[in-house]
Chains A and B, each alone.
Chain A
Amino acid sequence: MSHDVDMRVRIGSLELRNPVMTASGTFGSGREYADFVDLALLGAVVTKGVGLEPWPGNPAPRIAETDSGMLNSIGLQNPGVEAFCAADLAWLRTQDVPVVVNVIGHTVAEYAAVAARLSREDGVDALEVNISCPNVDEGGMAFGTSCAAAAEVTRAVREVTTLPVIVKLSPNVGEIAPIARAVTDEGADAVSLINTLLGMAIDTRTFRTVLARGVGGLSGPAIKPVALRMVWEVASAVAVPIIGMGGIMTGEDAAEFMLAGASAVAVGTANFVDPTATTKVADGLRRFCAERGIAAVRELTGAART
C-alpha cells in the first residue's frame, strides 16, 4: 500500500498542503484549538466572520442539539477588523498555515472596507466572503439569496483586493447554481458551500423556541446529503474550484465531497464532537486514496458519475 499520496490542491493561486480546511466560526482563529491540533497539518485555517466594527451577536441560548446536528444563532459576534488584526491575525501570522479570513458586512460598502483593510495586512492568504449567514437581520444571507446582490458584493470586494476571493454560498435558496454563476462572473476565484440551513427547534415543555432568536442555522451530519447535492449542482455550473462542507465527520465524508466536485473541504461541527477532527479527516482522506491506489487527492475532484 502506497503512503505517498500527493495531497496538495490549488484554490486559485492558493496552494494548500492538503484539502482539509476549518469551517468558519467553528475553529475560532485557530488558537483555541492549538492544544489539540498541529495547525501545520491543515490545508488552511478559515477564521470566524470579521466585520468592520464589533458585532455583539445574538442573545442566548444560541445553540441547540438536534438529531444528527445542531442549530446555532451566534449572529456573527466578532471584535471588528482592527481588533482581529491586532490579536487573532498577529498570532496566526506566527503559524505555519495558510489563513483565510471570513468577511462579513451589514452593507456592500462594509464588505469592501473589511476586504480592503485585510488586504493591507501580511499573513492573509485569501478572503472568504460570507454572504450566507442566516443569523443576522441585516446583511449576511440577504446578500446570498439574490443573484444581483451576490454579484454586487463580489464586485465590490474584487475591486479592492488582489487576494484570492472565495464567496461562501447559502443553501437557503431555490436554486444555487445561478448564484454561483453570478459571483464567478464577477471574478470570484472560488466558491465555498454550504453555510447552515435555516431551521428551528421548539421546547415542548415550555412551548418556546429553544433558540432565543427563534430560528438558527442547522449544521452537522444531518445536512450532508443536501450539501453534497449542492456541490454537485454547482460543479456542473461553474469552472472555479469549490470548497465543500456540511456534516463532514470522516475522511470518507471528505472524499464524497471531492467526488461530487469539490477541490477542497472544510470541517465545522465535527470539531465540537472531536477537537482533533480536522487532522483525523485529513488522515482518513489520505488513507482513502492510498487504499485505492489514487496517487493524487485532486484526482477525486468531480470523479463521481451517475
Chain B
Amino acid sequence: MSCAQDMTPRRCLERVSLMANERVAEGVGLAVFAAPGVARDIRSGQFVHLRIAEGASFILRRPFSVHRAAGDRIEVLYQVLGVGTRALSLAERGAEMDLIGPLGTGWSIPEGVAHALLVCGGLGAAPLGMLAEELAGRGVAVSVAQGAPTAERLVARELFSAAARRHEIATDDGSAGQRGFVTLRSEALMDADAPDVVYTCGPEPMQRIVAAQAARRGIACQVSLERLMACGVGACLSCVVSTVHGQRRACVDGPVFDAAEILWDRDESPEHEG
C-alpha cells in the first residue's frame, strides 16, 4: 500500500492476500501471502506484524517471523494458540489482511563463516527457514539440531533436510530421532562439527542452554527472542529485553541478539505450550 519504491528498505504497511493456508503439523499451519513489498525487502530473522482480523476483539497485531520468501510471496509458519492464531487457521485462500514489515534486526552472517549450526525447538524453526536456505546458497556448511514434543509436531523437516548436511532430530517421546531434549543433539553437533556460529530459536530456557553450550566452546551464538509486542516499531517499549547494554527493544534491536549480551532471568518471556 505505502511501500517506498526507492532502494533503501523501509518498513511499510502492506495489504496482503492469503494464497494458501494449510495444516502442516499437529497444531501448526503454513500461511502463504502475496506480499510483494515485504517479500522484496525481508531479511532472514526479521518479522511481520500481522493484523489478522478487524473488529473490537483484535486490538493488537500479531508478530510472526517470515519463514521463507520467494518471488512476491512470504510464508508464515504458525502455531495455533489463542484467538488470533485460531482465526488465522480458519482464514481461507483469498482472504485480505494487512501487515507491517519488514521489522526488526534479523540474523547476521559473520564474514568467513564456513560452518553454521542451527538449533531449534518447536516453532523456533520458523525464523530459521530463510536462514538455512541463505547459508546453504552461500556455500556454508549447515547442521541443524531440531526438537519437538512428538514427530507429528516437527515442522519444516524437508526444508532443513534439503539445506543441511546434517539434520538431527530429538523428540520428547522418541517418535522421531533421539528421545530427549534437542540440547543433547546441539551439544553433540558443536563437538562434532566445530561450527563457527550457532543460531538458535525456540523456548527461552532451551535457547539459554544452547547459548551456554556455545559460550563454553567459545562459539559465537545468536538467539531470537519473543516478547509481547504492541507497536512492533520501537515506540511503545512493551517488548524490552534486558541486556548488558541496558534494556533493548525486541522489535527493533532484536528479535535476534548476540547471546553474550542477554541477561537471562530478568524478564518473563511468553512461551509456546509444548
Contact = CB atoms under 8 A, between A and B. Distances in A.
Interface of A: 25-28, 32-33, 35-36, 48, 56-57, 59-70, 72, 74, 77, 212, 220-221, 269, 271-276
A48 B266 CA distance: 24
Given A28-B235, A32-B234, A61 B270 contact: yes
Given A28-B231, A32-B233, 14 more contacts: A26-B236, A27-B235, A28-B236, A36-B100, A60-B227, A60-B268, A61-B270, A62-B240, A68-B56, A68-B57, A272-B60, A272-B232, A273-B59, A274-B51
Interface of B: 2, 4, 10-13, 51, 56-57, 59-61, 100, 227-228, 230-240, 247, 252, 266-270
Nearest to B250: A60
Contact of A272 (B2, B61, B234, B267): B61
Nearest to A205: B273
B227 to A, nearest CB: 7
Contacts, number: 105
Given A36-B13, A276-B13, A269 B235 contact: no
B59 A62 contact: no
Nearest to B3: A35
Nearest to A79: B246
A70 B240 contact: no
A121 B238 CA distance: 29
Given A36-B13, A276-B13, A269 B238 contact: no
Nearest to B229: A63
- Majority SS at the chain B contact face: loop
Nearest to B232: A272
Contact of B237 (A66, A69, A77): A77
Contacts of A68: 56-57, 59
- Majority SS at the chain A contact face: loop
Contact of A276 (B2, B239, B240): B2
30 contacts: A25-B236, A28-B233, A32-B231, A32-B233, A32-B235, A33-B235, A35-B4, A36-B12, A36-B13, A57-B247, A60-B239, A60-B268, A61-B228, A62-B228, A63-B228, A63-B230, A63-B238, A64-B228, A65-B60, A68-B57, A72-B238, A77-B240, A221-B59, A269-B59, A272-B61, A272-B230, A272-B231, A272-B236, A273-B60, A274-B13
Nearest to B1: A276
B235 A26 contact: yes
B56 A67 contact: yes
Contacts of A60: 227-228, 238-240, 267-269
Contacts of B13: 36, 274-276
Given A36-B2, A36-B11, A57-B247, A273 B237 contact: no
Given A56-B247, A273-B59, A74 B268 contact: no
A60 B266 CA distance: 9
B257 to A, nearest CB: 15
Contacts of A273: 51, 59-61
A61 B266 CA distance: 11
Closest 5 CB pairs of A and B: A28-B235, A32-B235, A68-B56, A32-B234, A60-B267
Contacts of B227: 60
Contact of A57 (B2, B51, B231, B240): B240
A269 B10 CA distance: 23
A227 to B, nearest CB: 16
A32 B100 CA distance: 13
